[in-house]
Structure 1
């Protein structure tokens, strides 16, 4: 297999995630009890043989930098290659917010120049997947394309007025691209992952930014396809995936992970998902506790009742407390007699004694970090 590097762009619009992204990037969102969104992306790249991975940061990136650290959990802390944190390149003109992924790449031209790999996989950071990148790379090489896009036919990935959708011919070449249509006309959702030669990417980015272009799909890929300036084809991803672009989609992903058949499809033996380790005691369940269909991380103390919930490390559920259909992040507390349902509690949140919080399933209540209710 040819030498490949990875680049993850973390500048997506996070407005629809409300309180969850006030202090962090989407890539740093805690999910599934002990992971972050970016763990799945970096792990997929490492499992695909990539030893050089760059993460382009934008705003609210301290939590993400703290989580990634030196990259040792992903075996990316060697002297050559490894994990590269690429914070915003600040100048008088650029205040730290890139208008689009092309601007982020242009500001990190030096990193692209220093890298020696022939191919590059470029991904965004708000779609959770666990891909066989080696299959995608083999497809790219066998078809002789200039650019290969990754797409899925999963109908749950479609969004009215959001997302990018592609039309393919019989040979798998891209015929047309729709960007944020009112109603998507094509069944293939572009997963914001593409593969091409590193030198070709540098050339495209230089030309695009010089002409005032910012968006990868709307400004660059669409033009290449319509004007037939490059051969663009697409590789189908057939695994499970989620677009974490709203509170509802974040809640749905964590509830889906409670289903054993979905966990089995996401956490694949030959494609392990790595994350930052935090040493804790095993979870404690008192004799009076009751737990039904829940993910409970290490360090938790369960003395009340939990059902259909995801509890991160260090959560405490006091006696006679009841937690149902909830996500409670690290070190949250639910005190005696409290009842919460369809809620998302950020880190270090405290629900005081005898408090009752019930949100609609379609629009869960979100409690920001360090809040006491």
Structure 2
């Protein structure tokens, strides 16, 4: 049965912190986990909760996102009613100066007439850079039970947590948000990290947009910081696996960690009642030649492995030649590694060629990135 909720996914409002990976794609289209894109987790979480009306706010650089999503049939979203919509900046007589968005509220203002036509009671706003497998039916139920204005999906932080840029963090008293701040590290004052997933009544979102227009505010976060003392903001603490891909280093660490962490893979990718869907390619199986050695790695279909692959993520069509050693690497589709080459802590974009005998090494705190179509 279709749930009376609508999803809004922001595809690339944090491109600056992932600029290496977003020169030719939006954040939502970044490859992850050897066969997925980041958008797959957003769409799958929504469709698994029977939310079949999903809107993706695109800004620019979204050709690869459109190619990946297509009609939405791989997520059962090719529908006459609801389905999937990609919304980009557009000009009208009321918005003659429409521009690329820098903030969530800017994007929401631009689509306010579209939002005014939503028939669903509840709306879920989410960024595309948090990788998790969450039951939105439970989140919506908790939201309705608490009669919250906004329910923030959060994760309790470890005391040693640090981030590359300030993030929204909160503290609660009896489930209600009592304090909120932007911070780049754990503090006792605000020990829970917002995953930038918000559940609210559709009418409350319309009110937020109207209030932001009246106040001339472009940031959704600023609206929340202004309003939490006077509104009923609550949290839904998520205790499962989360990969927060908020920087290039985060992306690298999350990728190689997932490759060696079977428990995390089970929790994220292999839930029987909550599968993660992606575009189907119908590729041939990977060929492992005699002498190939594999350890703690995720390898997609259509690869050819003759050498050694350790703690790495290989996407479709990657070739590792005889005598080559690939460790702690993320190799995008179509990358080839020549005979006797050695790679360590490398992120290679699509169709990179590593020639015979080359040695390249980054560091776990500073992985080396190779641009798309480069020959090294």
Q: TM-score, normalised by structure 2?
A: 0.94
Alignment partners' CA distance in 2, 1:294 and 1:238: 25
Other-structure match for 2:149: 146
Aligned to 1:214: 218
Paired with 1:274 and 1:2, the residues of 2 have a C-alpha distance of 19
Which residue of structure 2 aligns with residue 233 of structure 1?
234
Matching residue of 1:44 = 45
- The corresponding residue for 2:200 is 196
The root-mean-square deviation of aligned C-alpha atoms, in Å, is: 1.7
Do residues 23 (structure 1) and 27 (structure 2) align? no
Cα distance in 1, alignment partners of residues 127 and 67 from structure 2: 19
Structure 1 residues 9 and 60: CA distance shift in structure 2, 3 A: same
User: Cα distance, 1:14 vs. partner?
Assistant: 2.4
Residue equivalent to 2:361: 358
Q: Equivalent residues in 2 for 1:321-332 (5 A)? A: 321-332=324-335
Equivalences, count: 368
Does the aligned pair in 1 maintain the 2:304–2:318 contact within 8 Å? Answer: yes
Contact 1:126 1:243 in 2 (8 A): yes
Q: Distance in 2 between matches of 1:328 and 1:159?
A: 25
Report if aligned partners of 2:286, 2:302 keep a CA contact under 8 Å in 1: yes
Which is worse superposed, 276-285 or 8-17?
Answer: 8-17
CA distance in 2, matches of 1:269, 1:102: 36
- TM superposition outliers: structure 1 runs of 4+ over 6 Å: none
CA displacement at 1:182 relative to structure 2: 6.9
How do residues 76-225 of structure 1 correspond to structure 2 at under 5 angstroms? Answer: 76-90=77-91, 92-95=96-99, 97-155=100-158, 158-159=162-163, 161-169=165-173, 171-180=174-183, 184=187, 185-217=189-221, 219-225=222-228
3-state DSSP of counterpart to 1:162? strand
Residue equivalent to 1:266? 268
Structure 1 stretch displaced more, 268-277 or 107-116:
107-116
Distance 1:65 1:231 in 2: 37
- Tell whether the 8 Å contact from 1:284 to 1:302 is kept in structure 2 after alignment: yes
Checking the alignment, whether the CA contact within 8 Å between 1:29 and 1:36 is kept in structure 2 is yes
Change (3 A) 1:2 1:273: closer
Inter-partner Cα distance in structure 2 for 1:32 and 1:182: 27
The answer on whether the counterparts of 1:14 and 1:245 sit within 8 Å (CA) in structure 2 is no
Give unmatched runs, 5+ long, in structure 2: none
Unaligned runs of 5+ in 1: none
Q: 2:60 aligns to what?
A: 59
Answer whether contact 1:33 1:295 (CA < 8 A) is retained. yes
Q: Is the 8 A contact 2:34 2:315 kept in 1?
A: yes
Aligned to 2:197, the other structure's residue is in SS state strand
Query: What's the TM-score once normalised by structure 1's chain length?
Result: 0.94
Q: C-alpha separation between the residues in 2 aligned to 1:119 and 1:157? A: 32
